[in-house]
Chains A and B, each alone.
Chain A
Amino acid sequence: MSSVDSNPSSLLEVKDLHVYFPIRGGVMRRQLHTVKAVSGVSLNLAQGEVLGLVGESGCGKTTLGRALVGLAPMTSGRVFFNAKELHHKNGKSSNHAMKMQLIFQDPYSSLHPRKQVRDLVGEGLLINGLARVEELDEKVLDILEKVGLGVDHLYRYPHEFSGGQRQRISLARALILKPELIILDEPTSALDVSVQAQILNMLKGLQKEYNLTYLFISHDLSVVRYMSRRIGVMYLGNLVEIGPTRSVFENPKHPYTHSLLSALPSIKKGKRKERMILKGDPPTPIDPPPGCPFADRCSNTQEKCRIEKPVLEPLKKESSQLVACFFQNENVL
């Protein structure tokens, strides 16, 4: 409730966020299982910063983003935005959350098929009483030009656009509310490679121009490296490592980060990385066992890992790289 608990320098502060989905079934729709899509994520985002978030499919990246804007239920934890705590009432975003927008992964499903671009993009202004209907054309056009679309597109329907253009429309819809934070959920993963580059460059340009803050979700490491100064690695609903992109890429400390990066071709000559193949099955977040989420697939699992869950801790004192592993300093990787 009070804003005292929050760090005043950060735009977004997430404290121990949990998002659980009950799986019901059987007699009387009893709760049979719990999907722990996000289990205890804490992170900070400074104004104007781009934080990349990577992790394999199903690790809870989308769910984290949706919970922040109020589309997924927060089971526990606190979120501060602009030093004010967010409270999402069922399905409806709280008021100041307007300044936090989300771009969906699939450009084909995120635009209402029966609405013209003008109405799609201008809707936010009308809802929040920021423009009168007569002003809409002009205001929408202003934003459309920012994302590389023009006056010809104003009265067209989504089906007349390509995937890349649709993502531009989605972006315009978010930008028109002058957001401070935009959560980008794999904004380019559904697009062709050539279009991807255009969109990424545009995103980068907009970020600089408006000093926007991005939470950039992706499973493509090269995209994240290009976009963000700082990178967080998620595994099974947990943030296992976070730090400056450079130091994480050059000096990964969590065994999972290491295995992720070892799949990338090395850019540095001479420094041959040993390819580390993960053993075991890809995990599911349904009723996960206690302890470290990576314990089943780690090469260095010890007894402690099965009992206690490691917390994110700075590598060294004052280090900006944080790792959630008991043996971070022993992992000679």
Chain B
Amino acid sequence: MTAQNLTTVEVRMLRAESRKRALQDSWTLWKRNPVTIAGTLIILSLILIAMVAPWLATHDPFDQILADRLFPPSLDYWFGTDNLGRDIYSRVIHGSRLTLMIAFVVALISGPIGLVVGVLSGYLGGMVDEVLMRLSDIFLAFPKLILAIAFAAALEPGLTNAIIAISIANWPSYARLVRAETLAVRNSDYIDAVRILGAGHLRIMIYHLTPMCLSTLIVRVSLDMGTIILIAAGLGFLGLGAQPPAPEWGLMVSDGRNYLVDQWWVSTIPGIAILVVVLGFNLVGDGLRDILDPHQRQS
């Protein structure tokens, strides 16, 4: 076969085939690990629940029926009611939207910032590296939760500001991770090889270093989703995150803390929801580590 009769149809076929092969490999690696399957199912169901929340809910999550305050779980109120007589089941279902939104928005803000800062720092080195890394050191000196609380308290309490605060607390650890990865591959033969071809610094950073850092970062971010959700819940609990009457899980745990002994369900049900989601993201993160590692595909 010569290049002359290489038609676009053929090329398209080859490309499709290679994509299929890549998907098959991922599928095999995914299937191999029951833990990953469990995690994926948890996250997928959560996304599904969030999408069809209005149809799943049995009550209006904001509807206060003061006569039905603090009812235990029953056929009418599946997970009981809270101190204002709101249906906890419906609130947890609606709360999944808030939780997912917070987790993904924070990941989408802090991940790219960490990526850019890390690649610049690791590749350029020198003063740029020094300045960027000292800056991230300042952030890393404090626990993430404390930092997020500080920023959230400095800004106006509210959901948007909570997201901003968590993102600010989050990016430095990603920058560190990406920088380490960049340092490891910056002087490798395959980077030198494209230098000889005439590639400039920008091209090397964007097309060659970024793809190498991306999979490590994605794994880390997915493992961090749990922490992000916990911090968001913590901010909600402290009144610095989502504001009442939003059905945010952390806020709901906080609402129920006065009734923990006699009406355990008010705090415990949203607490379990947090637990399950955090667990799901962690399991998926572990599985992604295997799936995204090109060396795993050799076997």
Point out residues on A near B: beta carbons under 8 Å. 66, 69-71, 91-93, 95, 97-98, 101-102, 104, 106, 109-116, 123-124, 127-128, 137-139, 141-142, 145, 150-152, 154-157, 159, 170, 173, 177
Contacts and interface: CB of A to CB of B under 8 A. Distances in A.
Nearest first, the 10 A-B pairs at minimum CB distance are: A155-B18, A124-B197, A110-B189, A109-B189, A112-B190, A141-B3, A142-B3, A114-B211, A104-B189, A113-B294
A173 B197 contact: yes
B75 interface: no
Contact of B197 (A66, A114, A127, A139): A127
B131 interface: no
A112 B6 contact: no
Given A114-B212, A155-B15, A157-B294, A127 B192 contact: no
A159 B211 CA distance: 16
B196 A151 contact: no
Given A95-B198, A128-B198, A170 B193 contact: yes
Contact of B189 (A70, A106, A137): A106
B23 interface: no
Interface string B167-201: 00000000000000000000011101111111111
25 contacts: A66-B192, A69-B196, A70-B195, A70-B196, A71-B192, A91-B195, A92-B198, A92-B200, A92-B201, A98-B197, A102-B196, A104-B192, A112-B212, A113-B190, A114-B294, A115-B211, A124-B197, A137-B11, A151-B6, A151-B10, A152-B14, A154-B14, A156-B18, A157-B297, A159-B298
Given A92-B195, A159-B297, A109 B190 contact: yes
Contacts of A157: 294, 297
A141 B190 contact: no
A154 B19 CA distance: 12
B14 A101 contact: no
Nearest to B188: A109
Nearest to A170: B193
B295 interface: yes
Interface string B1-39: 111001000110011011000000000000000000000
A141 B195 CA distance: 23
A137 B188 CA distance: 27
A138 B6 contact: yes
Given A102-B193, A102-B196, A123-B197, 5 more contacts: A92-B195, A93-B198, A112-B190, A112-B194, A114-B212
A92 B199 CA distance: 8
Contacts of A151: 1, 6, 10, 14
B203 interface: yes
B208 interface: yes
A114 B218 CA distance: 15
A187 to B, nearest CB: 13
B1 A150 contact: yes
A173 B198 CA distance: 12
Contacts of A112: 190, 194, 208, 211-212
Contacts of A114: 211-212, 294
Contact of A123 (B3, B17, B194): B194
A177 B37 CA distance: 46
A123 B197 CA distance: 8
Contacts of B194: 112, 123, 127
B23 to A, nearest CB: 13
A71 B1 contact: no
Contacts of B298: 159
A93 B197 CA distance: 8
Nearest to B294: A113
Given A127-B203, A138-B3, A151-B1, A159 B295 contact: yes
A71 B190 CA distance: 12
B198 A127 contact: yes
A15 to B, nearest CB: 22
Contacts of A106: 189
A145 B2 CA distance: 8
Contacts of B2: 145
Contacts of A145: 2-3
A145 B3 CA distance: 9
A93 B195 contact: yes
A116 B188 CA distance: 18
A194 to B, nearest CB: 22
Contacts of B195: 70-71, 91-93
A138 B198 CA distance: 22
Given A127-B198, A145-B2, A150-B1, A110 B18 contact: no
Interface string B121-151: 0000000000000000000000000000000
B197 A137 contact: no
Nearest to B194: A123
Nearest to B212: A114
A109 B17 CA distance: 26
Contacts of A156: 18
B193 A104 contact: yes
A139 B4 CA distance: 10
Given A110-B190, A116-B18, A159-B298, A124 B198 contact: yes
A98 B203 CA distance: 16
A26 B198 CA distance: 36
Contacts of A173: 193, 197
A92 B2 CA distance: 35
Nearest to B190: A112
Contact of A111 (B11, B18, B190, B197): B190
Contacts of A95: 198
Contacts of A115: 211
Contacts of A104: 189, 192-193
